[in-house]
Amino acid sequence: MGAYCDENLSFSPACNLSPSHDLRLSKHVHDNVHGNIYLDPLSLKFIDTEQFQRLRELKQLGLAHLVYPGAVHSRFEHSLGVYWLAGEAMQKLKTYQGLELGIDRFDVQAVKVAGLLHDVGHGPFSHLFEREFLPKVLNSFKWAHEQMSADLIDHIVDVHHIDVESEMIKRVKEMVLASSEFALPKSAKEKQFLYDIVANGRNGIDVDKFDYIVRDSRACGLGCSFDFHRLMETMRVLGDEICYRAKDYLSIHKLFATRADLYRTVYTHSKVKAVELMIVDALLKANSYLEISSSIQDPSEYWKLDDTIIKTIETAPDEELRESRDLILRIRRRNLYQFCNEYSVPKDQLEHFKDVTAQDIACSQKNGGVLLQEDDIAVSNVRIDLTRGRQNPLESINFFKDYESQEKFPIPHERISHLLPTSYQDMIVRVYSKKPELVAAVSEAFENFQLKIYGVKAQVHATPEKKKRRF
């Protein structure tokens, strides 16, 4: 992402800009996904702060670039992309239903700013920070980046004296929190469809996914057959909810299926997870000395935390960080935790599945041979779904027949193509050996665990002999 540039702005109608974009008051960046992104004055006030610029130091895909070298894009460019798509979505609704829905400039601006700031509270290394690291140090206290985003929005406004209506900031924070983990605010009694655009807690279709699915696929060199433009052109508000044409249900399914493919091939790639497990261990060993987790409730300190924490650990001479430094050095030299094997949890076991732990595997070894310790083993429990757990995401979406229709309806399961999956969630258990010489022992214990739990080996392939002898 380059610096802002306004010297090449064109004021011709060929720019296809909506009336809400005043080029005289805008700057633009050229994005490799969406082309020119025009930045309005209020959004620029947030962008030109150290808190927002921090997003340049947060890789969108965390540690995936160590497996997919092109995946070095940041939360900064993703946030600009979501800002742009949020504005485009609002403009389409305003063009076709603006009078009917009472969409005004306040609504458009609020949705755009929510798109811009939805990830401002994200932690280092994508979701690893809040899903893998913090649960191990916070005990029962729950922390979510969405809430930190809301807290940081208040902090930015206060510190930089941004002249913005308090009601708009309230609305922006509600939209940022309107994901599946947070209920729709009670204050949203009207224009609830606005909360479907950035972080859609009703059915998971939002411009956040539109941007990262295309952006991540491109960065990793993968094809992407999902086209969000069709959905944005044809969406319509019925009953205060964004609905889609019934004939587009396969396009919507492709959105969820593409996301699941990215989870399987990129986000949870076995080597990506190996690196993540090592980084979590490094952060845990460094936490008491660096107090990494101490700032998670203080926006004035939290914004200083980003991916460069690894370089801080790696270059520090302190003896207290030696174990963490050694782990990072292993990553640099590609001496990773060794992936031993994996299995998919049987469908009939998914409902009552409990995460498998290193202790479960260590306790499954047979007497004799190498004595495994819990700290010799790392386990990754990988959930891959279509955003709605074990439920079909299409069943939570409302459709309409044609533009003359005033009726919205879900598409029942029996009317959906039989070529689509009948199961909507995979649970994969992976086991890693932290030491190359223990691969054989860990693999055997993992097989014993499966026999104890399921009565059979659930894994598809045996661990290769050459991997067992690799030390």
pLDDT, tens digit, 9 for 90 and up, residues 95-109: 999 999 999 999 999
pLDDT at 9: 33
pLDDT at 185: 60
Residue 400 forms part of a structural domain: no
Express each pLDDT in 408-454 by its tens digit.
999 877 776 655 665 678 899 999 999 999 999 999 999 999 999 99
Burial 115-136 (b: 16+ CB within 10 A, else e): bbbbbbbbbbbbebbbebbbee
What are the pLDDT digits (tens) for 133-180?
999 999 877 899 999 999 999 999 999 999 999 999 999 999 999 875
Do residues 383 and 425 lie in contact, with contact meaning Cβ atoms separated by under 8 Å?
A: yes
**DSSP β-ladder status, 35-39 and 338-344:** unpaired
> Would you say residue 333 lies in a domain?
no
Q: How confident is the model at residue 13 (pLDDT cuts 50, 70, 90)?
A: very low
DSSP state of 127: T
> CA–CA separation, 58 vs 122, rounded Å?
8
- Residues 81, 192 share a domain: yes
- Based on the fold, state whether residues 229 and 358 are members of the same structural domain: no
Average confidence (pLDDT) over 183-188: 59
**Number of neighbours of residue 196 by Cβ within 10 angstroms:** 25
Domain of residue 64 covers: 16-270
Residue with tokens 């990262």: 212
118 & 205 share domain: yes
| H helical segments located in 102-220 | 105-117, 128, 134-137, 145-160, 166-176, 207-219
CATH number of residue 177's parent domain: 1.10.3210.10
Whether 261 and 367 map to the same domain: the answer is no
Q: How many CB atoms lie within 10 A of CB 425?
A: 17
Looking at residue 115, what is its pLDDT? 98
- Spatial separation of the C-alpha atoms in residues 85 and 112, rounded to whole Å: 8
Task: Note whether residue 413 is domain-resident.
Answer: no
Q: Which of 48-52, 116-120, 216-220, 417-421 bottoms out in mean pLDDT, i.e. has the lowest?
A: 417-421
- In terms of domains, do 344 and 212 share one? no
Buried b (16+ CB within 10 A) or exposed e, 25-40: ebbbbebebbebbbbb
Question: CATH number of the domain that 361 lies in?
Answer: 3.30.70.2760
Going across the sheet that includes 338-344, the strands are 338-344, 425-433, 377-385
222 and 355 co-located in one domain: no
Q: Say what the pLDDT of residue 393 is.
A: 77
Domain count, the chain: 2
- pLDDT beyond 90 at 319: yes
Q: Clarify whether residues 241 and 145 are in a common domain.
A: yes
Active site residues: 145
Whether 233 is covered by a domain: the verdict is yes
Distance, in Å, from the CA atom of 270 to the CA atom of 463, rounded to the nearest integer, reads 14
Closest-CA residue to 433 (of 278, 279, 324): 278
pLDDT on residue 453 = 92
Residue 128 to residue 58: CA distance in whole angstroms? 12
119 & 251 share domain? yes
Same domain, residue pair 156 and 70 = yes
> Do 237 and 367 belong to one domain?
no
User: Would you say residue 277 lies in a domain?
Assistant: no
Residue 431 in domain: yes
